[in-house]
Amino acid sequence: MKKLSVLLVTLISTVVIGSSAFAAGGHGAAVDEVHMNMSDKASLQNGAKLFVNYCLSCHSAEYSRYNRVAEDLDIPLWQLKENLMFTTEKEGDLMKTTMPAEDAKKWFGVTPPDLSLVARVRKPAWIYTYLRAFYQDESSPSGWNNSLFENVAMPHALYELQGVQRKVGKADLESHGPIDAHAASDAVGEQRVVGDTVFELQHPGKLSPAEFDKAMADLTSFLSYMAEPAQLKRKTIGVYTIAFLIILMLLCIVLKAEYWRDVH
Amino acid sequence: MAIHRHDNHKSANALMEWVDKRFPATKVWNEHLAEYMAAKNFNFWYFFGSLAILMLVVQIATGIFLTMHYKPDAELAFASVEYIMRDVPFGWLVRYLHAIGASMFFVVIYLHMFRGVIYGSHREPRELVWLIGCVIFVALMAEAFMGYLLPWGNMSYWGAQVILSLFDVIPFVGPALTEWIRGDFVISDATLNRFFAFHVILLPLILVALVFLHLVALHQVGSNNPDGIDIYDNVDDDGKPLDGVAFFPYIVIKDLIGVAAFLIVYLGVVFFWPDGGGVLLEKDNFAPANPLQTPPDIVPLWYFTPYYSILRASTTSLLFALQIITGVIVLWLWLRAKISLIAKVAFTGLAVCVFAGLVFGSGKAWGVILMAAAIVCFFLLPWLDRSPVLSVRYRSLPFKIALAFFLVAFFILGYLGMNAPTPGKTLLAQICTVVYFAFFALMPWFTSIGKTKPEPTRVTYEAH
């Protein structure tokens, strides 16, 4: 029986680890890891700023409310209204784009997807890589292409920040070893690797490559927060709950020992 | 702690007397809790019965709160779930408790069933307890399947599409039956509405009723124990088993430890790992249902994947292997089996029919048959198991080896069902499918061979 129990435990742990590793890995596109810190309010606020300025003009976040974002991210209401609310007057409104879906479809060929849950559909690392993998491509209708999502209809909305980059070719990931995206050089003409592709900066943007990477990490963090706003307090409540349950279990063990004292 | 009237305060006493004349309150309490005797050597495996009841209660309680905000409408369902996750105070907690609770319910039920198998709790006289339990298992699968459609995510939609289309293979009536179940030509608002009705009314009622019957049947024959012996073989002068303790308070207090430990695991997942790495909440289900966009891999949730693997393993090569196996069985019947001529002829006739079915039937049809058979096998266990002893502690080596093989095959099937098939994986699934069915088919044989250990006369127990 002991051997069977050991076997069962081994099987359960193997399958749990194996299957979750598989589910996390997904379909195996090369993506860059992103460092997110959900308690870094400044980072999330910067992400929110980038989101309403660069994303919300085409994409909605139609399950998310302005005032909830402000409350969760410690943004004062007046600041929210002045700097972040461009699509509505009411702070309790959902974050919907003003671009009509019909027109969007006509212009881009596809309605830009809602981004409320994008970080739960795509993994944060995927988003972080995708946002940095746009390059100039004269052959595509928008003049832009993306090495992670080939022929995506979306143009490079953030080019004024990143600048314009050119695709050099596929990177040889084995010889490069693990990629440290933040170690990229600032100079024009220097090559850098995003995902599995080598890019060369042709025109600099408002931000240096390192600053842009940081900004995209902030935006990715914000999208992750928005996919599950409850995560900010979920873990805190969890710690108290589990601590309570451990005490409860110890008390139950003592209680059981007391009741069972006369069982021989 | 049986209730004896003289123990109680006078007025309470009078009240209970008044009630007892009209309703058997004290009688039921004593028969099913205070004087229901269970073996004192219940171990870890015996927590899962009460935990299953706990999960049923949790699912019903959280389900009630979810229905207060959920909208069973194809246009609104997905958004209403997100409304619960964001705008309803602690809605996220209730929703996670329910969604992850479904998985935990299956964890508990699978371990509960495994307990039955290793300690022989399905054997005489507890066959009906086991059978009712198997019906509960099937009802629970239906409940989970229908509940999974309700968030109206893309995986909800396509999962339901794939599973419902399986009914198509039933000869003559299949397509009409599928359409009747869906209420439409595709999964649609009509399907969502009826699944909601079944999920929140019909199946919970059935489940509660079945659990009641499960307990009635159990209390008629008494609980088994890790030694698989009858505690009523050793009774004191009052007819009470020497190795028994009253369910209340002894087992109830002990189960509280199990409840607390289980809640640590369950709530640990809810608070710290609600996605379960994409296994408990699948990432494709965070996108709304889209009839025009099929997810790359349509996979059911983990608790269905062993059977889903068996379904997918049914290809022409598996059918060919099954044809050979059928032929070998017939040969063995005529050459070695010690049964009457009539039985031989009857079994051969049956084998010829199966063989013809395997030759002319499609892989998909056989997949559905095998998947159903994989679950039907559980119902037959009490009669397939011929071991002279109940508990694995005293069973022969062949049983333990066979059970180990079955476990490995079951887990591999479960794992493969979560992955997109490749030729290598399909072959592995086919081998595991054969092992799965061989476990049941050969059980009468391997449980009757080998040397069993002598059962003790009293349960194994050391006071702590």
Predicted confidence at residue A52, as pLDDT, reads 93
Chain B residue at shortest CA distance from A18? B415
Of A62, A120, A259, the CB nearest to B283: A120
Question: In the listed set B286, B314, B338, which residue is the last one of a domain according to the structure?
Answer: B286
Instruction: Note whether B257 contacts A252, CB cutoff 8 Å.
Output: yes
Contact residues on chain B for A263, CB-CB shorter than 8 A: 40, 245, 250, 463
Instruction: Note whether B400 contacts A4, CB cutoff 8 Å.
Output: yes
pLDDT band, residue A22 (cuts 50/70/90): low
Contact residues on chain A for B38, CB-CB shorter than 8 A: none
Chain B residue at shortest CA distance from A21? B277
Q: Exposed e or buried b for every residue in B13-25, given b needs 16+ CB within 10 A?
A: eeebeeeeeeeee
Instruction: Note whether B274 contacts A234, CB cutoff 8 Å.
Output: yes
* pTM for the full predicted model: 0.93
Of B87, B260, B408, the CB nearest to A245: B260
Same domain as B307, residue B259: no
The number of C-alpha atoms within 13 Å of A197 and in the hemisphere containing its C-beta is 21
Same domain as B211, residue B62: yes
Closest CA of chain B from A114, distance in Å:
9
3-state helix, strand, coil in chain B (%, to 5): 70, 0, 25
Report the distance separating Cα B410 and Cα B137, nearest Å: 16
Of A65, A121, A248, the CB nearest to B283: A121
Predicted confidence at residue B212, as pLDDT, reads 98
Same domain as B413, residue B280: no
Contact residues on chain A for B82, CB-CB shorter than 8 A: 63, 116-117
Contact B72, B193 (CB under 8 A): yes
Of B253, B271, B296, the CB nearest to A259: B253
Contact residues on chain B for A23, CB-CB shorter than 8 A: 277-279, 282-283, 418
Of B79, B271, B419, the CB nearest to A241: B271
Contact residues on chain A for B79, CB-CB shorter than 8 A: 62-63
For residue B459, being part of any structural domain is answered with: no
Q: Exposed e or buried b for every residue in B259-268, given b needs 16+ CB within 10 A?
A: bbbbbbebbe
The ipTM (two decimal places) reads: 0.91
For residue B460, being part of any structural domain is answered with: no
Contact A164, A202 (CB under 8 A): yes
Same domain as B312, residue B199: no
Per-position pLDDT tens, chain B of length 464: 566 655 556 778 899 999 999 999 999 999 999 999 999 999 999 999 999 999 999 999 999 999 999 999 999 999 999 999 999 999 999 999 999 999 999 999 999 999 999 999 999 999 999 999 999 999 999 999 999 999 999 999 999 999 999 988 888 899 999 999 999 999 999 999 999 999 999 999 999 999 999 999 999 999 999 999 999 999 999 999 999 999 999 999 999 999 999 999 999 999 999 999 889 999 999 999 999 999 988 889 999 999 999 999 999 889 999 999 999 988 988 888 778 888 889 989 999 999 998 988 888 899 999 999 999 999 999 999 999 999 999 999 999 999 999 999 999 999 999 988 899 999 999 999 999 999 999 999 999 999 999 999 999 998 76
Closest CA of chain A from B21, distance in Å:
32
Computed over every residue of chain A, the mean pLDDT equals: 88
β pairing state of A191-194 and A163-170: unpaired
Closest CA of chain B from A147, distance in Å:
20
Instruction: Note whether A23 contacts B92, CB cutoff 8 Å.
Output: no
Chain B residue at shortest CA distance from A248? B260
Predicted confidence at residue B8, as pLDDT, reads 53
Same domain as B122, residue B39: yes
Same domain as B383, residue B249: no
Predicted confidence at residue A100, as pLDDT, reads 87
Same domain as B217, residue B126: yes
* Domains contained in chain B, number: 2
Same domain as B342, residue B255: no
Instruction: Note whether A117 contacts B272, CB cutoff 8 Å.
Output: no
What CATH homologous superfamily does A24-229 map to? Cytochrome c-like domain (1.10.760.10)
For residue B7, being part of any structural domain is answered with: no
Instruction: Note whether B392 contacts A248, CB cutoff 8 Å.
Output: no
For residue B295, being part of any structural domain is answered with: no
Instruction: Note whether B286 contacts A63, CB cutoff 8 Å.
Output: no
Instruction: Note whether B254 contacts A260, CB cutoff 8 Å.
Output: yes
Chain A interface test: which of B37, B50, B86, B290 (most A C-beta within 10 Å): B86
Share of chain A above pLDDT 90, in %: 62
Instruction: Note whether B260 contacts A252, CB cutoff 8 Å.
Output: yes
Same domain as B186, residue B144: yes
Predicted confidence at residue B341, as pLDDT, reads 87
Contact residues on chain B for A65, CB-CB shorter than 8 A: 86-87
Instruction: Note whether A23 contacts B271, CB cutoff 8 Å.
Output: no
The three-class DSSP label of residue B241 is strand
Question: In the listed set B256, B286, B316, which residue is the last one of a domain according to the structure?
Answer: B286
Of A19, A230, A246, the CB nearest to B415: A19
Predicted confidence at residue B5, as pLDDT, reads 53
For residue B16, being part of any structural domain is answered with: no
Q: What is the CATH number of the domain that holds B282?
A: 1.20.810.10
Contact residues on chain A for B249, CB-CB shorter than 8 A: 259
Contact residues on chain B for A15, CB-CB shorter than 8 A: 411, 414-415
Instruction: Note whether B279 contacts A117, CB cutoff 8 Å.
Output: no
Distances (CA, A) of B76 to A64, B192, B244: 16, 11, 55
Distance of CA A83 to the CA centre of its chain: 23
pLDDT at residue A248 is higher than 60: yes
Cβ contacts of residue A50 below 8 Å, gap of 6+?
A: A158, A215, A218, A219, A222
Instruction: Note whether B279 contacts A19, CB cutoff 8 Å.
Output: yes
For residue B29, being part of any structural domain is answered with: yes
**Can you tell me which residue has the tokens 């209420």?**
B183
Tens-place pLDDT, residues A52-76: 999 998 999 999 999 999 999 999 9
* CB burial of residue B127 (10 Å; 0-12, 13-18, 19+): middle
For residue B436, being part of any structural domain is answered with: yes
Of A1, A239, A249, the CB nearest to B118: A1
Of A116, A256, A264, the CB nearest to B82: A116
Range of the domain at B399: 302-446
* CB burial of residue B166 (10 Å; 0-12, 13-18, 19+): middle
Same domain as B265, residue B204: yes
Q: What is the 3-state secondary structure (H, E, C) of B92-123?
A: HHHHHHHHHHHHHHHHHHHHHHHHHHHHCCCC
Instruction: Note whether A238 contacts B271, CB cutoff 8 Å.
Output: yes
Q: Considering just the CA atoms, what is the radius of gyration of chain A in Å? A: 24
Contact residues on chain B for A123, CB-CB shorter than 8 A: 283
For residue B4, being part of any structural domain is answered with: no
Cβ contacts of residue A123 below 8 Å, gap of 6+?
A: A24, A26, A31, B283
Chain B residue at shortest CA distance from A24? B277
